[in-house]
Amino acid sequence: MRHFTVELEELNQKLLEMGGLVESAIHRSVRALVDQDRDLAEQVIRDEPRINRMEMEIDGMATRLLALRQPVARDLRFLTSALKINNDLERIGDLAQHVAERALSLMHHPLVKPMTDIPKMASMVQSMLLKCLDAFVNSDEPLARSVLLADDEVDRLRDAVYAELLATMQRDPGVVPAAVDLIFVARNLERIGDHATNIAEDVVFLVKGIDVRHHAEQAEKV
């Protein structure tokens, strides 16, 4: 039987590999949208099953280690966090696929609005994802906490995108279908930010053993 430490390290590596795939998917889906690049959008959609298979593989590894190794304390937190982070990464992969599908639907339309806020949202959520994966690898709690703060900025940008698109639709009903696609893109990017936030919360839990989920409302109750 191999060393438990080696198995945990393999699981760690696998999660990072999955993080890399998901990060590329976000990047490509938004480039596909901005550059109206059909090939890139199709690549994201084609690669999604690979992310799903990797999720099931990681789930299998973590569950097997829980069963066979009877971990305690930090190792137990690592394995339960791995299950959750895995799930969040898979959902981010789904959301990137949705963005790619909207990019395809918008391929032959002229752009509704200059594409500035949406790529900005995209680079913010990509940076959140990179940071929370870094924080996970290095058990860097302050870095994980910085991701929790960044999420508010993403929400602010989303509000700006919505307001602008609603006004555009009211002025020019012809753009309604394309503008609704963009509203969903902004919504998907915001949700990617939410999942990165979940991962950051899991990292804080892993490092400190404290549950910071639903932090805002808990702070209210104190």
The amino acid sitting at 19 is G
Q: Give the one residue of 10, 17, 177, 210 binding a second copy; rule: CB under 8 A.
A: 177
Q: Which stretch binds a second copy (CB under 8 A): 20-28, 35-43, 49-57, 141-149?
A: 49-57
Question: How many angstroms from the chain centroid is the CA of residue 110?
Answer: 28
Residue 143 binding a second copy, by CB under 8 A = no
The overall longest dimension of the chain from CA atoms, in Å, is 68
Residue 159 binding a second copy, by CB under 8 A = no
Residues 6+ apart with CB under 8 A from 131: 143, 144, 146, 147, 150, 196, 200
Residue 104 binding a second copy, by CB under 8 A = no
Burial code (b: 16+ CB inside 10 Å, e: under 16) for 122-131 equals bebbbebbeb
Residue 176 binding a second copy, by CB under 8 A = yes
Q: Quick check: helix, strand or coil at residue 75?
A: helix
Nearest one of 184, 135, 127 to 154, comparing CA atoms: 127
Q: Give the one residue of 80, 123, 127, 139 binding a second copy; rule: CB under 8 A.
A: 80
Residue whose tokens read 């299998």:
60
Q: Give the one residue of 13, 56, 107, 149 binding a second copy; rule: CB under 8 A.
A: 56
Q: Give the one residue of 49, 109, 111, 138 binding a second copy; rule: CB under 8 A.
A: 49
CB of 119 to a second copy, least distance (A): 22
Tell me the site size for a second copy, rule CB under 8 A: 36
72 is written with which tokens? 């305690």
The CA–CA distances, whole Å, from 61 to 2, 83, 205, 214 equal 14, 10, 21, 28
Q: Rounded CA gap, 58 and 116, in Å?
A: 36
Q: Rounded CA gap, 75 and 73, in Å?
A: 6
Q: Which stretch binds a second copy (CB under 8 A): 25-33, 34-42, 63-71, 134-142?
A: 63-71
Residue 87 binding a second copy, by CB under 8 A = yes
Q: Which stretch binds a second copy (CB under 8 A): 2-10, 38-46, 58-66, 147-155?
A: 58-66
Residues of this chain that bind a second copy (CB under 8 A): 49, 52-53, 55-56, 59-60, 63, 66-67, 70-72, 76, 80, 83-84, 87, 162, 166, 169-171, 173-174, 176-177, 180, 183-184, 187, 211, 213-214, 217, 221
